[in-house]
Amino acid sequence: MKKSKLYKDFNYIKALSKLRENGIRPTSQRKILAKIIFEKGNRHLNADDLFNETKKLGYSISLATIYNTLKQFSSFGLLKEIVVDQNKSMYCNNKEPHYHLYVEDEAKIIDIPNSNIDLSNIPEIPACLNLHNIDIIVRIRTLKESSK
């Protein structure tokens, strides 16, 4: 077994164990989805991507289940939801702290390690001092589409 294969399996197994930790039953659907999501290293995907990949692999999991599963996985930190555009949520399987560079024309997302953005000067956060999460999306568009 190749080293990279081992690594991928490890991420899948960690995901299953996260399910158990959170009292969520490892049903066949959830196992299939976890496998697809975590077996390929860092990536960004949405419900539709996932739906198509399951079909391509010969499985048939309903879209509703996929939506619900993505949301549930995010609720305990297995995935991170990124709102890139209206009517389009993406999910990121990279658990390291990082931000996102979003190239709108290509609907492509690139991770930026945390250490590359200096946030020390953002204004004081009002009232709610206990932050749960800071998300940054850097949006980029090429010149030609300036008036869309």
Is 87 a binding residue for DNA by CB under 7 A? The answer is yes
x/- site string to DNA, residues 121 to 140, per CB under 7 A? --------------------
Could you tell me the CA-to-CA distances from 48 to 12, 31, 65, 94, 111 in Å, in that order?
21, 18, 12, 19, 21
Contact residue for DNA among 7, 10, 14, 27 (CB under 7 A)? 27
Site residues, a copy of itself (CB under 8 A)? 75-76, 83-89, 101, 103, 105-106, 108, 110, 112, 115-119, 121-123, 125-126, 128, 130-148
- Whether 98 contacts 87, CB under 8 Å: no
Nearest to 88 by CA among 112, 72, 108: 108
Residue 118 CB, nearest distance to a copy of itself (Å)?
A: 4
